[in-house]
């Protein structure tokens, strides 16, 4: 367990706004590169991509951790396969307006997924369904609920919580909770 965390069996719901209602026939996921090129997937196209079932520990900055959670979704490596970029940074953005920033390398090499199932069931709206980002090696606020897309860019743009005091990177093993940690 990372320092300062405690175990929880339930799955607390943390929100910064109303839960968006996203009809699947209008859902889309967009990766935009730094030169303006866009790569889009509809809901059906996402489900057709090869899926993985990662079992991972998740760590919330509010100090709860949940071990061996099981998800189903598409690796960012698959989604990034045809994307041409030299960007170093990514800003994930969500239906409802939430954003979070992370280095692009933290989304690659089997470290991140767009997930649409949790513990064998479709991902509930309060937990980020229809689909959320899953980046379990960073604090869970980086795993954006209701994810809509990822903007690739050459500069680091602070996201929703990162711009009001939370840490730019958020490594639970180094207890990077707030700016300056």
Partner 1 sequence: MTQDYQDGNALAGPLAELFAVDVTAATGRCVSCGDTGRVADLRVYGHELGWVARCPSCDHVMLRLVRSPDAAWLDLQGTLSLRVPLPPS
Residues in contact with partner 1 by CB under 8 A are 12, 14-19, 61-62, 97, 141, 161, 163-166, 177-178
Distance between CA atoms of residues 5 and 32, nearest Å: 35
Residue 89 or 161: which CB sits closer to partner 1?
Answer: 161
Query: What tokens does 12 get?
Result: 């607390």
CB of residue 87 vs partner 1: minimum separation in angstroms? 26
Distance between CA atoms of residues 86 and 111, nearest Å: 19
CA-to-CA dists, residue 3 to 87, 101, 167, 176, angstroms: 32, 23, 16, 10
Residue 54 or 96: which CB sits closer to partner 1?
Answer: 96
- Please, are residues 32 and 76 in contact by the beta-carbon 8 Å criterion? no
Residue 51 or 138: which CB sits closer to partner 1?
Answer: 138
Strands 121-122 and 113-118: antiparallel
CB of residue 14 vs partner 1: minimum separation in angstroms? 5
- Please, are residues 90 and 104 in contact by the beta-carbon 8 Å criterion? yes
Residue 97 or 110: which CB sits closer to partner 1?
Answer: 97
CB of residue 169 vs partner 1: minimum separation in angstroms? 16
Residue 43 or 166: which CB sits closer to partner 1?
Answer: 166
CB of residue 97 vs partner 1: minimum separation in angstroms? 8
CB of residue 55 vs partner 1: minimum separation in angstroms? 25
Residues in the chain: 181
């Amino acid at each position: 367990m990372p320092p300062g965390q405690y175990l929880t069996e339930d799955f607390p719901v943390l929100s910064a706004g109303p839960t968006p209602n996203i009809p699947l026939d209008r859902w889309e996921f967009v990766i935009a590169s730094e030169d303006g090129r866009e790569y889009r997937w509809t809901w059906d196209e996402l489900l057709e991509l090869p899926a993985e079932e990662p079992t991972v520990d998740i760590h919330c900055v509010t100090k709860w951790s949940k071990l061996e959670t099981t998800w189903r979704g598409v690796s960012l490596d698959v989604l990034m396969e045809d994307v041409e970029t030299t960007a170093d940074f990514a800003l994930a953005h969500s239906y409802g307006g939430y954003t979070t920033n992370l280095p692009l390398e933290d989304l690659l090499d089997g470290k991140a997924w767009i997930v649409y199932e949790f513990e064998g069931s479709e991902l509930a709206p309060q937990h980020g369904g229809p689909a959320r980002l899953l980046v379990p090696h960073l604090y869970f606020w980086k795993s954006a609920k209701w994810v809509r897309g990822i903007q690739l860019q050459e500069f680091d743009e602070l996201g929703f919580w990162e711009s009001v005091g939370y840490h730019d990177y958020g490594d639970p093993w180094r207890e990077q909770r707030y700016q300056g940690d």
